[in-house]
Amino acid sequence: MNATPMLSVRDLVVSTHKQDLVKGFSLDIHKGQRIGVVGESGAGKTMASMAIAGLLPPGVTARGSITFGGEEERFEDARPGVSPARRGVAVVFQDTGALNPLMRVGRQLDEALRLAGVKDARERRRAAVSLLERVRIDRPEQRLRAYPHELSGGQRQRVLIALALACRPTLLLADEPTSALDVSVQVEVVSLLNEVADAEGVAMIVISHDMGVIARLCEEVVVMYDGEIVERGTTGQIVNAPEHPYTSKLIAAVPKLATVAGDE
């Protein structure tokens, strides 16, 4: 593995004025690597990733240090914005409501490509079609004219991934990318993410409470519990020999994994 990680997070604490939501999160990720973050609802997964992406909500601050692409930023109870250094980080949210319901898919892609610096309108259109092809949406030209509600849940999630790819990210933060989808569609979106990461060489941090999704996408896992990382290791280690009782519980919740792990 190459020596310098593309992203290095050190002692990240995320707080409101009342309490710490994330109490010390450290993580290194190398080019093309895929790391899963698992943990139950409220463990602090989204808050940690929002701090990394520079998208913390109002009233929530961070301290610690984040190094991305060789540039270190230190925070002291600040609300980090999206710094130029971290423009290479793109986020895919759980909620397909992240799409603007009033704007056609093509317009949203066009906007994202414009922000990414593609100046020529015809070039943006070509790029938009190509992005939809890359996320395997059929009849892409036609879909550009569709509104989000005219697409299926799986297609909407594919559009979100296309929007994330528009800024040519080197790191994709996928927060519960499949939770809102039916099981069969979940499998499709997981394979798409695998495919995209392979083809584009992007690194991924995949956040989920579902160890099954993580196991299919990531070679390494960190387990969060109550704002802290309680365990980390390769997916194999974590699934086959979990050390923290809470991790065992997460694994037992996924029947197929439990069998692999020889649980019960």
Catalog residues that contact ligand ATP under the rule CB under 6 A.
Answer: 16, 21, 39, 41-47, 57, 59-60, 209
Which pair of tokens denotes residue 48?
């940690």
Report the C-alpha gap between 138 and 84 in whole angstroms. 34
- Binding partner of residue 212 among Mg ion, ligand ATP, none, CB under 5 to 8 Å per kind? none
What is the closest distance, in whole angstroms, from the C-beta atom of residue 113 to ligand ATP in the complex? 29
* Binding partner selected for residue 42 from ligand ATP, Mg ion, none, CB under the kind-specific 5 to 8 Å limit: ligand ATP
State the binding partner of 134 from Mg ion, ligand ATP, none, CB within 5 to 8 A by kind: none
Closer residue to ligand ATP (CB): 128 or 204 = 204
DSSP strand pairing (89-92 vs 20-29): unpaired
Nearest to 10 by CA among 229, 243, 248: 229
Q: Is 46 in the site for Mg ion (CB under 5 A)?
A: yes
Minimum distance from CB of 139 to Mg ion (Å)? 33
Return d(Cα 38, Cα 130) in angstroms, integer.
Answer: 32
130's contact among Mg ion, ligand ATP, none, with CB below 5 to 8 A by partner kind, is none
**From ligand ATP, Mg ion, none, interface partner of 143 (C-beta below 5 to 8 A by class):** none
What distance in Å separates the CA atoms of residue 66 and residue 80, rounded to the nearest whole number? 10
The residues, any chain, with a CB within 8 Å of residue 147's CB and separated by 6 or more, are: 101, 102, 103, 104, 105
Structure tokens at 234: 């390769």
Nearer to ligand ATP, 16 or 191 (CB): 16
108 binding Mg ion? (CB under 5 A): no
Closer to ligand ATP by CB, 46 or 155: give it.
46
- For 158-241, strand residue ranges (E) read 171-175, 203-208, 220-225, 228-234
Give the nearer residue to ligand ATP in terms of CB position, either 110 or 175.
175
Nearer to ligand ATP, 39 or 106 (CB): 39
107: left (phi over 0), alpha (psi -120 to 50) or beta: alpha
- Point out which residues bind Mg ion (CB under 5 A): 46
